[in-house]
Amino acid sequence: MQILLANANTTQAITTLCTASARAAASPGTEIIPATPRFGPEVISTRVENAIASHALLELLAEHAGQNLDGVLLAVSHDTALEAARQLMPCPVLGMTEAACLVALTQGGRFGLVTFGGVDMYRELMARHGFSARVSGLAGVDATPQQTLANPAAVTAQVQQAIQALVAEGADSVVLGGAAMAGMAAHLTAPVPLLDGIACGVRLLEALAGLRLPRPSTGSYAAPSGRALSGVSPALAGLLAQPRN
């Protein structure tokens, strides 16, 4: 099977990091296809950047929509453009944070999430996914994804401290909420499960592909048809304009 690993920012090093984590988690026979958008923010940290990245990500997905993919994993911790991507693509789509949280729900009553910087957008993301009642705490590490790539040991130590605080608050598992944290769980210790969104997403997509669920033909997630757009990439415009059954 083939899984498209779609970064939503333009930092190629993060795509490379996430690809390594995805390939380590994948079952034999699963091919991971990495992709990085042609424009947008280097790292998403604001609402404006997230909106711009949504456009870039949808154009990226449209370029791959005809490749008989079995699943798409959004390698961005904000789960950027997830709902739109789900409507657009003909295969299952998961956000990396969504995937880790779904696994967390099977590991205990409540889970914590550690990320970079502020947590307000993640609090909203938890509410949008319907997970708020199961979140024991959110922790923001005073570091950036760029600093993680440049000095992983120092940032890993900060993440370790945040995990300990979340466990003390009652987390039964902890989600690593950042694409730049992909693969970091191997360098951390905790008395509860640490959930890498890339690894969780790959495994869940393998399961979804095996279920062979049909695409909805009605409702808000039915594929768009006959829509006219201007100023976007030919691939995205063509995908939305084509008639669907």
Q: DSSP letters of 98-137? A: HHHHHHHTTS-S-EEEEEES--HHHHHHHHHHT-GGGEEE
Count of other CB atoms within 10 angstroms of residue 42: 14
pLDDT score at 2: 97
For residue 131, give the nearest of 106, 168, 149 by alpha carbon: 106
245 pLDDT tier (thresholds 50, 70, 90)? low
Place 244 in a pLDDT band, splitting at 50, 70 and 90: low
Read off the pLDDT of residues 200-210 as tens digits, 9 standing for 90 and up: 999 999 999 99
Closest to 232 (Cα-Cα) out of 184, 67, 124, 224: 224
pLDDT at 143 over 90: no
Do 163 and 190 meet the contact criterion of CB atoms below 8 Å apart?
yes
Average predicted confidence (pLDDT) for the chain = 94
Q: Which helix (H) or strand (E) holds 32?
A: strand 31-35
- Mean pLDDT, to the nearest integer, of 130-139? 98
Give the span between the Cα atoms of 22 and 26, in whole angstroms: 6
Phi (first) and psi of residue 242, to 5 degrees: -70, 145
pTM of full prediction above 0.85? yes
| 48-68 confidence digits (pLDDT tens) | 999 999 999 999 999 998 889
